[in-house]
Structure 1
Amino acid sequence: MRSVIRTGALRDGPPSTTTAPAYSGIKNIPRTYTTAQPHHSSLNSSPAFHSKAADCSPESLATLANHAEAEPPSVALPVRHGERITIADIKERRAKAGRLVAPTAAYSDADMFKGPTTGKPKAKRWDHHLTHESTLRHPCKLKQAAKHLNNPGLISLGGGLPCPEYFPISSLTLHVPAPPDFSEAATLAPGGGETLTIGKYDTTLPPPSAGDALHHPEYDLSIALNYGQGNGSAQMTRFVTEHIELLGAPPYADWGVCLTIGSTGALEQILRMLCDGPGRGDCVLTEEFSFSTALETAVPLEVTTVGVRMDSEGLVPEAMDEILSQWDSVAAPGSGGKLAGKRKPHVLYTVPSGQNPTGATQSAARRQAIYAVAQRHDVLIIEDEPYYYLQMQAPGTAPPSTVDEFLKGLVPTYLTLDVDGRVIRMDSFSKVVVPGSRMGWITASAQLVERFTRHAEMANQGPNGFSQVILHKLLDERWGHEGYFGWLMNLRMEYTKRRDVMAAACEEFLPKEVVSWAPPQAGMFQWLKVNHTIHPHASDKTILDIEEEIFNNCIARGVLVARGSWFRAEQDVAPSGLYLRATFAAATPENMREAIRRLGAAIRESFQLYGV
C-alpha cells in the first residue's frame, strides 16, 4: 500500500503530491510516525483507523473494548513501575519516532502517542451510566470517510473539504514571551520577545539542518483551517497525551484524550452523556458552593444538583457517603420533597484545586477518601481542574528549580488514583494560557472518550483550527513541554504574589469582627465569610437581604465582588451563611488594595461600624 504525502514549498498555490511507501499501522507510536526522515505517511491510511473508527455502535463498542489487543513493538521508552515519565523520555521517544505530519482530517487518538501500557488492567465498563441519548450516537459518516483521503490516486468528490488555495489567510505572526523569564515588559520592549510565524504550507517546506525542529513545522494553516476530526488534531492530541503522561497517567491501560472547546462546553457534553433529565430525574453531586456556570449548565438539562457539605479542604467525603447511603429512604416515591422519586446520584462534579468559589484545595488523602466513596456507591467523578497548576508556593519554601520538583510538589490528580477508569478529568488552557482559545481536553477511559467524541462530532466538530495551530506553534514547537511547564511554574509564582497582596489588604482593611477568611492554597479566589448574625437588622432581614445590601453598597463605592448565593448548589434551599467571593486574578496590586478598602467600607456601612 502506498500513501500520498506532500512535498515542495509552493507559495502561490497548494502543494504538489508524490507517492511514498506507507508506514504500516500498529497500535502505538510507529503507526503515527515514520522513522525515515523527513516525511511522514498519512495517519488516515493506517489500518488502525478502520478498527478504531469504523463501527462504534453501542453493541460493537462492548465487543471492541473487551477485545484484548496484543501489545505491538513500540519506540516508546519503558518506564519503571511507579515512576513518572520524564521530558527526556518524551524527547528520546520523538527522536526515535521521527517527524509527525498528519494531513487534513487525519484520525488520531492517544494510543498512537502514549507509552506502553503492558501489564496494566483495562478500565471498567460504564454502559449502565450512559444516557439514552448517548447510546443513540453513532460515528459521523463523513468523518469516517476521511480515512480514504490519502489513498494513492484517489480523487475526492465525496467530502466538503474546501481547497486551501482559497483560504484568504496565508500566514499568522505571533509575538510571544521567551523562556525562562516570560517577562511581559521584556516582550513589549523593542527587540524583546520572540516572533513566530505560521504559514499556509509550512509542512511542505524542505527539511532544515539536522536538529532544527523549530523551523521544520509539523502543522500549518492548510491543515488547521480545514475541517478536522471531532476529537481534534493529531498534533495537539500528541501534545496533551504526553502532558498527561508527564503529570501522571491513569493506572489502567485504555485511557484516552479528546480535545474540547473548553471546560464549559465539555461539561455540557458530559452531563448529556451521563445524566438523563425528564423521566429519570437524574441528580449530580457537587460541593455545596460550586461554579455558578456549571450549575447553570445543569438547569436546562433538568438535572438536579445536590450540594455536599464542605470544610477547609473542600468536599467532605463522610457527608457524600451519608447522602448516598440514605438516598433510598430520603428520595423514596411519595416521601415528599424535591428528591422524591429521583434515582440515586451516580455522578460527582468537583473542582478539587482552588475550588471555585471557595478556594479550597483537596489534599491527597481527601481525594483518596472521596474516590473510595465513589467506588462504594458506583459514582463517576468529573474532575474539573482549571486551577490545578495554580497551587500556591508555600511560605518560606524555595520555588522548584526543575519541572520534576514542580510536579512532585503538586497534589496528585484523581487520574493517578483511578484504578477503575471512573474519572473524567477536564483540563483547559483558559486559566493558564488564554481563555479566548476556547480549548482544552478531557482524559478518561477509552469507552467514555469514544462516547464524548461522538457527541463532539455533532455538537461542535472539535476545537477551532486557529486555536489549535497557534497553541501548537507556541507550546509544542517553540516552548516544548519543558517551556510550557516553565510557564506554569512562573504563573504559579505570579498568582502567589497576587494572593499575598489581597491577603495583606484584607488584614488591613476588612473589619475582623464581621469578616473572616483563610488565604487559598490554589486558584484565584478569596472566599470571605460575613457574620450576618451581628448585623443591626439580623432579626428582621434575611441573609439574602443583608447580602444584597452589602452588594449594593459595594457597587455604590465602586467595587464589584461576587455574591456567595450565586454559587449555592441548591438554590431552592435557604442559605445558612453569608459569603462573598473576591478574585485576585486581574486587578493590579494597587487597584486590588483599593478595591478591598472600598469593600471594607461597604461592609462597615452595612453593619453600622462607624468610626471603626
Structure 2
Amino acid sequence: MAPHAAANDVAQKPAVVEGTLTVANVAANRTRFPLPKGVAAFSDSSMFKSAASAAKPKAKRWDHYISAESKLRKPSTLKQIAQYLQPGMLSLGGGLPSQEYFPFHEISAKAPSPSQFADPAPANPECSVISTKHDIIDATSEFDLEVALNYGQSVGYAAFVRWVTEHVEIVHNPPYGDWDLTLAPGSTQGWDFVLRMLCKPGDIVLTEEYTFCSAMEGAAAQGVIPFPVKVDAEGLLASSLDEILTNWDPAAHGGARKPFVLYTVPSGQNPTGATQSAERRKEIYKVAQKHDLIICEDEPYYFLQMEPYKGLGTPMTPPPASTDEFLKTLVPSFLSMDTDGRVIRLDSFSKVLSPGSRVSFVVASAQLTERMIRQAETSTQSPSGMAQILLYKLLDEAWGHEGYIKWLIHIRVEYTKRRNCIMDACEEFLPKSVATFNPPTAGMFNWIQIDWKKHPAIKEGKDHDAIEEMIFLAAVDAGVLVSRGTWFLADQSAKQEDMFFRTTFAAAPADQIREAIKRFGSVLNAQFNIQ
C-alpha cells in the first residue's frame, strides 16, 4: 500500500513545499528527499522537515552542561557501517542475520477506520494493516518486515522516523532549525537518556512539589536529587522557580551546584491533574532563559486536553469540528515556544494508542539528540521493530496524519466523558466539609485534598502520615484503591501540612468510577464521623 497522501499532486502545488508543514502538504514535502531504504538505513529529522523549518535560526550550544559520561560516548563502530550499505553493495561486513531465517512471513492487525470515530459507528468499522517481507521489493510499501525484523539504527527505522518528524512539525513547529528526534522504548527511558547526558551524582533537578514518582526514583538511582517547586491550580509556579534559582546557595544544599534541569509534566500533570496555561508556560520559559535552565517537558497527556468541567449533569461541549480547529485548541507546548533549543520534549504513544508498544520519541536540539543516540547505540538500541512497523502501518499508511488527529479528537471526547463522570460522582458523594478538588482540564487524574486536621484521631496525637494511612487502608477495606499523595512528594522528607489522594478516571468504566467514588465518600464519612 502506498503511503497515505493528504495533498494533491505536487506539480499542482509547488510553492507549498517551501512553507510551513501542514496535514495538507505532507505528500508534497516528501518529494524533497528520498526515503532511505534497506536494512538499518540511517535517517534523521533533517531529511524530512520542510524547507521553512530547516531554514530557521540554530539552537544554542549546551557543551557546558553535557556530562563527562555523555562526552565519552563515541559513535558505535558497527552502527556506522550502515552508511556504506548503498544499492548494489554486496555486504559481508555487518552482523545482520538473514531475513530468510526469520519465521515471521506476515503480520496483520485490525484497527478502527477514521470513519468509526464518529458516533454512531458505521456497520463495518475496521481497517486492516498487513506487512510481509517483500513489500519494498514489490513496491507495495516503503517499510516491510525484512527491515523491521532486523537490527536498525537507534534513532528508529527511517519510514517511521519520517512520520514522527512530520507529526512534530505539524503540531509544534519548533521555532529553531536544527531540532531533531530519536525514538526510545518509552518516555521513562527517554528521561534516563536526559539524566545520563546532563547530570552527575549529587546534582539536583527541579520538579513540581508533587511529581511523577517513577521519574524521580530513576533519578535517585543515579544519585540525582529532586528539589520541589511550588505549584497552584495551574501547576508549577514560575515565581517559585525564579526564587529558588535566584537565591541558590550551594553551601545550603550540601555543595550541590545550581540546578540547570527542570522536569515538568505541563498537561494533566501526574499526580495533580493540573495543566499549565499558555501564559504560565511563557513565564516559566522566561525564567529558564534568565537562569540558563534546560526544560524537560514530559507530555504523555498533551493530547488529552479537554473543555472545563461545567458542573453536575451539564452537557458536554461539542468536540472540535476539524483537525485544524483541534490543533488550535491545544495549549502551546514548551517546544513550540523554544527559540533557544533549551527544551527536551518527551513524547509518547502510551496514553493515546498503547503503553505496551513501548515506543516514544524525544525531541531536542540536534546536539542533545546526537548524545542520546550515542547512548542508545550501546544500551537500548531502538524500540521494537515489530511495534514500529505496526505503528507505521496504522499512522502512515492507514490513517495518515489527518486520521491520527481525528483519533486524538475521538479519545479527547471519550476521556472528557470519563472526567465528567468522576467529577459528577465527587460532587454527589464526597463530603464537602473535608474533601475539595479542582476538576482537571487534561490527562487522567483527579487530585482530592482532605482536611485531615478535622480527623478525630488528631485528639489521639496522630500525625499527617498516620491519618493518611488510616484513610488509605479503610478505602482498601471498602474495596476501592486510591493513591496516597505522599507517594508523589519530590522531597520525601518534607513535613506535610496538606493531604491529598490521587484518583484516576482512565482505568475503569463509568459505572465503576461512580461506585468507587461512592465507596471513597463513605470511607471519608466514616473516618471523620460525618452523618
TM-score between both structures, scaled by the size of structure 2:
0.93
User: Equivalent residue of 1:367, what SS?
Assistant: helix
CA–CA distance in 2 between the matches of 1:538 and 1:574? 16
Selected match of 1:310 from 222, 231, 251: 231
- Structure 2, unpaired ranges of 5+: 1-9, 311-315
CA–CA distance in 1 between the matches of 2:87 and 2:414? 51
C-alpha spacing 1:296/1:259, structure 2 compared with 1 (3 Å) = same
Equivalent residue number for residue 64 of structure 2? 128
C-alpha spacing 1:360/1:549, structure 2 compared with 1 (3 Å) = same
Matches within 5 A, 1:241-390: 241-277=165-201, 281-328=202-249, 331-332=250-251, 335=252, 339-390=253-304
Selected match of 2:135 from 202, 212, 224: 202
Give 1:102 shift: 2.0
* 2:115 corresponds to 1:180: yes
Q: What code does the residue aligned with 1:148 have?
A: Y
Give 1:538 shift: 2.2
Say if 1:120 and 1:252, in contact at 8 Å, map to a contact too: yes
* 2:365 corresponds to 1:445: yes
* Structure of higher CA gyration radius: 1
Say if 1:263 and 1:428, in contact at 8 Å, map to a contact too: yes
Say if 1:354 and 1:391, in contact at 8 Å, map to a contact too: yes
Equivalent residue number for residue 157 of structure 2? 233
Equivalent residue number for residue 356 of structure 2? 436
Equivalent residue number for residue 458 of structure 2? 538
Equivalent residue number for residue 410 of structure 1? 330
User: Equivalent residue of 1:160, what SS?
Assistant: coil
Give 1:185 shift: 9.7
Q: Deviations over 1:21-59 (max 9, x none)?
A: xxxxxxxxxxxxxx9xxxxxxxxxxxxxxxxxxxxxxxx
Q: What code does the residue aligned with 1:90 have?
A: V
User: Equivalent residue of 1:127, what SS?
Assistant: coil
Give 1:157 shift: 2.4
Selected match of 1:77 from 17, 20, 35: 17
Equivalent residue number for residue 523 of structure 2? 602
C-alpha spacing 1:75/1:461, structure 2 compared with 1 (3 Å) = farther
CA–CA distance in 2 between the matches of 1:194 and 1:134? 44
Q: Deviations over 1:414-449 (max 9, x none)?
A: 012111100001100000000000001011101001
Say if 1:393 and 1:492, in contact at 8 Å, map to a contact too: no
CA–CA distance in 2 between the matches of 1:498 and 1:252? 38
Equivalent residue number for residue 39 of structure 2? 104
CA–CA distance in 2 between the matches of 1:234 and 1:425? 20
CA–CA distance in 2 between the matches of 1:253 and 1:192? 40
CA–CA distance in 2 between the matches of 1:184 and 1:298? 44
User: Equivalent residue of 1:204, what SS?
Assistant: coil
CA–CA distance in 2 between the matches of 1:360 and 1:303? 25
Give 1:75 shift: 8.8
* 2:437 corresponds to 1:491: no
Give 1:397 shift: 4.1
Q: What code does the residue aligned with 1:404 have?
A: D
C-alpha spacing 1:358/1:222, structure 2 compared with 1 (3 Å) = same
Give 1:183 shift: 7.4
Q: Deviations over 1:210-260 (max 9, x none)?
A: xxxxxx311111100100001101111111110011112211111111111
User: Equivalent residue of 2:177, what SS?
Assistant: coil
CA–CA distance in 1 between the matches of 2:115 and 2:333? 26
Q: Deviations over 1:159-196 (max 9, x none)?
A: 21000010011111101111133379969x8x541222
Equivalent residue number for residue 567 of structure 1? 488
User: Equivalent residue of 2:364, what SS?
Assistant: strand
Selected match of 2:392 from 453, 457, 472: 472
User: Equivalent residue of 1:320, what SS?
Assistant: helix
Q: Percent identity?
A: 50
Which stretch shows the higher mean deviation, 495-504 or 239-248?
239-248
* 2:126 corresponds to 1:193: yes
Give 1:103 shift: 1.1
Give 1:295 shift: 1.1
Equivalent residue number for residue 458 of structure 1? 378
Equivalent residue number for residue 499 of structure 2? 578
Say if 1:173 and 1:195, in contact at 8 Å, map to a contact too: yes
Give 1:137 shift: 0.3
Say if 2:352 and 2:408, in contact at 8 Å, map to a contact too: yes
CA–CA distance in 1 between the matches of 2:466 and 2:371? 45
CA–CA distance in 2 between the matches of 1:165 and 1:186? 42
Equivalent residue number for residue 81 of structure 2? 145
CA–CA distance in 2 between the matches of 1:531 and 1:141? 60
The number of equivalent residue pairs is 512
User: Equivalent residue of 2:412, what SS?
Assistant: helix
Selected match of 2:306 from 392, 412, 420: 392
Q: What code does the residue aligned with 2:380 have?
A: N
Say if 1:392 and 1:496, in contact at 8 Å, map to a contact too: yes
Give 1:119 shift: 5.0
Give 1:155 shift: 2.8
CA–CA distance in 2 between the matches of 1:169 and 1:76? 41
Equivalent residue number for residue 447 of structure 2? 527
Q: What code does the residue aligned with 1:163 have?
A: S
Q: What code does the residue aligned with 2:39 have?
A: T
CA–CA distance in 2 between the matches of 1:310 and 1:483? 36
Q: What code does the residue aligned with 1:166 have?
A: Y
Q: What code does the residue aligned with 2:164 have?
A: V
CA–CA distance in 1 between the matches of 2:37 and 2:466? 58
Give 1:149 shift: 2.1
Say if 1:101 and 1:218, in contact at 8 Å, map to a contact too: no
User: Equivalent residue of 2:83, what SS?
Assistant: helix
CA–CA distance in 1 between the matches of 2:254 and 2:54? 47
Selected match of 2:146 from 222, 241, 245: 222
Q: Once superposed, what is the RMSD of the aligned Cα atoms?
A: 2.0
